[in-house]
Structure 1
Amino acid sequence: MSKFKEIKLNRFQLNVLLDEEEKAAYDYIVQEGTYCVHCKEMCTKGVDVKENFLNDMNDILIKGTCRVCNGRVSRFIEYGEFDEFSEKALRFRISIGAE
């Protein structure tokens, strides 16, 4: 059983949670680092992000659509394995009452 609940993040919450380096990684993944199973290649024009989640392992899950074919795509950014991010995510969970 998971320790934490999955939390849907709005854009403001995502910006609070990520530091500048993590935001740069997020932007790279949205623009160039997501594979589209429909196009059978990377999303060459990026992803239209529909939803972001902080999952039960404190990773960020991005859900959206490929800007080329409009197919659904998703991508995890595995931040939960880093102690500093996990601590920040826990403080965030506590601040919104979702610990």
Structure 2
Amino acid sequence: MYRVVKMDGKFAGVVTDEGFVVSQGIVLGQFTRDGLIRKYGQVIGSVSANGEVLSGEDVIGMVSADGVLTSHGKRIGLIDRAAGLGAGGAALLLLLEQLLA
């Protein structure tokens, strides 16, 4: 089963059951059940229990209980709750977007 991630109201990618985040046919990384975010096997960030998206020790975003993604106080996306997506996949897209910006 695939879960949809939306950014700015548009389709941004999918998350597989194994936690791989795929956007435009490219595997961006993987969110693991222990809250770590990996790219090419290396830990590049994490999601805390209270929804903070972390890059190292820096908080670069938040995932709210209602699925809204914010970065620097600005709403940047929404988790499609109907698709059953957990915070991890969306947070991974957020983290990668921030790191690549």
Q: TM-score, normalised by structure 1?
A: 0.29
**Per residue, is there more strand in 1 or in 2?**
2
Structure whose CA Rg is larger:
1
